[in-house]
């Protein structure tokens, strides 16, 4: 861990071995914010992000920064360990790739008719103050529950070091979470301007717990986090249904791990009740289980937390980008992308390589270096390699 001084009573504790100056300066501005209660922590996958540094852990006591949570509230990972091994998988995974694509709507696609489980969840978990949400998004929430989205969201079938099969999935709160987040981010900006609250970075606009909007944001945020978690659960059920159809033996799920990495939670640290905002970080308290993915051509890890208090019991959420999306498309060719995926040996949407170029493995940091940098944050329990990768675009 390295310490970077933001001001005399605040600093940035960093596990990042590779971080550009823009990201570090952004993190230092976050640490200097009046809303922040203590030092912030930077994970080894840290890089510049919209609102706040991706891979940052930000403690606040009587304030909340909506843009630090970000627009995909509750985004995270889910992984399922199965009673299958490599020999149980079919010789070709192309049909499974197609079937996953049909059962898990991705990109801008959604369920034409919401699954019964999605409707049931929506009925038992009503949107807080639903009149604040546009009718279009409110109607679409059930249709998007159980859908992947695009960008770096993915579904993978993996093998661990024992050749045991895992299903792994990455997604968040979809359109309704985005709409909720955007509304509160703008409201925080307007309030800080109206009350002349000092802001070094307008993206760090915040609510105090004495503001009416504070409670409104917390209610929406907690709902969106629950929606995101259920979104992953429903997609995993759909993926396992397709995987079960593809193998010849009865399939049993041994365990399921579901963890957020864009969220806020009330926790106690050093005797203080704090809101811990993890933007691109997972909780890694003692015995917390987590999923840390690499790029689509690299390993992913199943980990158990070590409870490091200096990181607020947190760890990285993935490899972290080395190059932004536009830069990746300028820097790398489709041929380079295809070569990298050939070396990875994964069944993937090769016919969509041009559309997925910004997700090429070369656009990300080395996940093994990231894991080595956080050996004091998590214990590696399983190393996974993907044999199938599906992405939305």
Distances (CA, A) of 286 to 25, 39, 146, 297: 31, 21, 30, 30
DSSP string, 243-294: HHHHSSS---EEEEEEEESEEEEEEEETTEEEEEEEESEEE--TT-EEEE--
| DSSP H helical ranges for the chain | 21-32, 66-69, 94-103, 116-124, 135-144, 174-194, 212-246, 325-331, 334-344, 367-373
For every residue of 189-226, DSSP letters joined together read HHHHHHTT---SSGGG--EETTSHHHHHHHHHHHHHHH
Give, in degrees to the nearest 5, the angle at Cα 43 between 41 and 44: 145
Residue of 153, 317, 323, 382 marked active site: 317
317 catalytic per annotation: yes
Q: Are 35 and 58 in contact (CB under 8 A)?
A: no
Give the residue ranges of DSSP H helices in 247-354.
325-331, 334-344
Smallest CA-to-CA distance from 174 within 303, 267, 71 is with 71
- The whole-angstrom separation of Cα 354 and Cα 302 is 30
Query: For residue 58, what are its two tokens?
Result: 């930000």
Contact 50, 324 (CB under 8 A): no
- d(CA 295, CA 305) in angstroms, rounded, equals 22
Whole-number Å distance between alpha carbons of 62 and 383: 39
Catalytic positions, written as ranges = 317
């Amino acid at each position: 861990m390295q310490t970077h001084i933001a001001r005399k009573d605040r600093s940035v504790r960093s596990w990042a071995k590779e971080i550009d100056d823009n990201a570090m300066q952004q993190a230092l501005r976050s640490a200097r914010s009046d809303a922040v209660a203590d030092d912030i922590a930077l994970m080894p996958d840290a890089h510049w992000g919209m609102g706040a540094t991706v891979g940052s852990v930000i403690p606040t006591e009587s304030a909340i920064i909506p843009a630090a949570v970000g627009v995909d509230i509750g985004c995270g990972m889910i992984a399922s360990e199965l009673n299958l091994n490599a020999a149980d998988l079919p010789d070709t995974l192309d049909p499974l790739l197609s079937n996953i694509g049909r059962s898990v709507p991705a990109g801008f696609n959604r369920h034409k008719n919401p699954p019964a489980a999605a409707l049931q969840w929506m009925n038992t978990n009503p949107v807080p103050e639903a009149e604040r949400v546009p009718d279009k998004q409110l109607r679409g929430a059930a249709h998007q529950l159980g859908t992947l989205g695009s960008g770096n969201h993915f579904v993978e079938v993996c093998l661990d070091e024992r050749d045991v099969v895992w299903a792994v999935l990455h997604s968040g709160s979809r359109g309704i979470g985005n709409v909720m987040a955007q509304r509160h981010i703008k409201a925080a900006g307007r309030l800080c301007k109206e009350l002349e609250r000092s802001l070094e970075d307008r993206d760090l606009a915040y609510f105090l717990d004495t503001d009416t909007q504070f409670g409104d944001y917390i209610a929406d945020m907690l709902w969106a986090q629950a929606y995101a978690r259920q979104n992953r659960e429903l997609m995993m059920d759909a993926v396992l249904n397709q995987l079960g159809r593809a193998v010849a033996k009865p399939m049993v799920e041994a365990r399921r791990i579901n963890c957020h990495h864009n969220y806020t939670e009330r926790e106690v640290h050093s005797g203080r009740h704090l809101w811990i905002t993890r933007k691109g970080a997972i909780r890694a308290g003692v015995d917390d289980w987590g999923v840390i993915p690499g790029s689509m051509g690299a390993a992913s890890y199943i980990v158990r937390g070590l409870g490091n208090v200096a990181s607020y019991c947190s760890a990285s959420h993935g490899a972290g980008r080395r190059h932004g999306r536009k830069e990746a498309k300028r820097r790398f060719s489709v041929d380079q992308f295809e070569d990298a995926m050939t070396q990875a040996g994964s069944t993937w949407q090769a016919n969509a390589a041009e559309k997925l170029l910004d997700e090429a493995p070369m656009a990300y940091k080395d996940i093994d270096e990231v894991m080595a940098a956080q050996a004091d944050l998590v214990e590696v329990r399983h190393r996974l390699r993907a044999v199938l990768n599906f992405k939305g675009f």
